[in-house]
Amino acid sequence: MADSNNPSGALPGDPRFGLNEAELKQYYMTKSPSWLITARLRPDGGAEARASANEAHVAYLRAHRDQLRFAGPLQNDEASAATGSLTLLDAPDRAGAEAWIASEPYNLAGAFGSVDIVRWSSSMEIRQLDYPRTEGWQQFAITAIDGPDAEARRAAVAEDHHKYQASVMDRYVARGPTQSDDGATLIGSFMIMEYPDQAACEDFWAKEPLNYGGAFKDVTLERWRYGKAVG
């Protein structure tokens, strides 16, 4: 059974720890949001446009470093080429996130074929510059979109999910729920994991109770790495 004194299942150190259901809802609706910005390179010339704007891109990210939780390139499975960019950005609202990506040099150069922006709430206070990395290990971004009966399926495996989360906590780089723009509705989960290789990350995900419990209708697992502009 879930702990009625800690219904979120959050671990000590998480700002949600010990909040009741009403307090949790208020927490998500009133906390300053972050935004998950996923930008995909155009297949026709996106890589070339990205290369042409790299110096300006680095300068732009460094100038906005205080807003960045994590930022870096999405990659193909072999990590031999970038497929896009992924940024976790602090901004007060969607308009702020849209303005930020509108002025991003890769975007201005026409490198991106698509840009998606989703509100995200960090369940960890750590940021890219502070994360204790394991040398030689790889990073993976997992985007999971809730299915139509996600709330019931989440509730059914909540206890197992929180226990499993605690057992792999040292492998999370970033984690938290994705939400509607006003923060009132949970729409999925996003996390960055660090493992020796993709097979190990896929094994982690196969054992995640929310995953095998059927909470998600769509899941993307892809390579990512720490962007050099941030450090």
Taking the whole predicted model, whether its pTM rises above 0.85 is answered as yes
C-alpha span between 85 and 89 (Å, rounded):
12
If you classify domain 123-224 with CATH, what class do you get? alpha beta
Identical fold at 34-119 and 123-224?
A: yes
- Domain coordinates of the chain in residue numbers? 34-119, 123-224
Strand partners, 138: 195
CA 50: distance to chain centroid? 22
Measuring CA to CA, which residue among 22, 79, 19, 82 is closest to residue 47? Answer: 82
C-alpha span between 134 and 171 (Å, rounded):
10
Measuring CA to CA, which residue among 141, 123, 154 is closest to residue 217? Answer: 154
pLDDT at 20: 78
Domain 34-119 matching CATH 3.30.70.1060: the answer reads yes
Which of 101-129 are b and which e, b meaning 16 or more Cβ less than 10 Å from the residue's Cβ?
beebbbbbbebbeebebbbbbbbbeebbe
Length of the chain measured in residues = 231
pLDDT at 1: 43
pLDDT at 9: 65
Averaged in consecutive runs of 10 residues, what is the pLDDT profile of the chain (231 residues)? Answer: 61 74 70 92 98 97 95 96 98 97 98 98 88 94 97 94 92 94 94 98 98 98 95 79
